[in-house]
Amino acid sequence: MDLPWQGILPGVLAGKFDFVATSVSVRPERVTQYAFTVPIAEGTTWTMKRAGDDSLTTIEDLAGKVVGTQLSSGGEAAAKEFEATLGGDGYGELKLYTSYPETYLALANGEIDVVVQTLPNLAVVVKEQPGVFELLGPIGSLSYMGWGTRPEDTDLRDYLSAQILEMRDNGTLYALQDKWFGFQMDIPDEGYLPEGAL
């Protein structure tokens, strides 16, 4: 099933499908509600700007800028957390969109100054549209993305994790990362889940 992001996590809890096979950020508030697999990719939150925008050279330059991200996403939470670190010099505005592709269009059109999303997703956009966008830098600490099941479906979660680790160990996962992202991300066996995880 291909669904809008806002319905995916509630849908798995409601039993509309068995697991979520998309890039779900492993966040403290989620690990107590969903049973996460081992990571499928790094999920550190990064920023992307228009290519050649010299007004943004470091992430501290986000103060006073218009920032865009997807509504109800890990990007929204990370953007709000990072804004708090800027002290009294917060963003000019935080704009929330229904989907990430809308943020890319808004960035290209100058409606916003930067997009906040996970590194692998932004890397694909930069790779597919050279000369249009550039990565600016991370606004969060190292984190991961995984797939999620209902809390009671830990057998399914464990099965999926075993398959992911097998693909990692035989090199298939890293070959796919090279193909789609242009770089490889470490996939750990442990230490990737925040405290209190299922």
pTM: 0.79
Q: Point out the least confidently predicted range of 141-145, 149-153, 164-168.
A: 141-145
Domain ranges of the chain: 5-42+143-181, 45-138
- Residue 134: which pLDDT band, with cuts at 50, 70 and 90? very high
Instruction: Give residue 22's pLDDT.
Output: 87
Q: What is the mean pLDDT of residues 59-79?
A: 94
Q: What is the CATH number of domain 5-42+143-181?
A: 3.40.190.10
Exposed / middle / buried, residue 100 (Cβ in 10 Å: 0-12, 13-18, 19+) = buried
Instruction: Give residue 182's pLDDT.
Output: 86
User: What is the H or E stretch that residue 147 is in?
Assistant: strand 144-149
Q: 7 is written with which tokens?
A: 């319905």
pLDDT reading at 81 higher than 90: yes
* Nearest to 12, CA basis, from 167, 148, 181: 148
Query: Does residue 70 sit in helix, strand or coil?
Result: strand
Half-sphere exposure (Cβ direction) of 171: Cα atoms closer than 13 Å: 0
CB atoms within 10 A of CB 114: 26
- Residue 181: which pLDDT band, with cuts at 50, 70 and 90? confident
Domain 45-138: give its CATH superfamily. Answer: Periplasmic binding protein-like II (3.40.190.10)
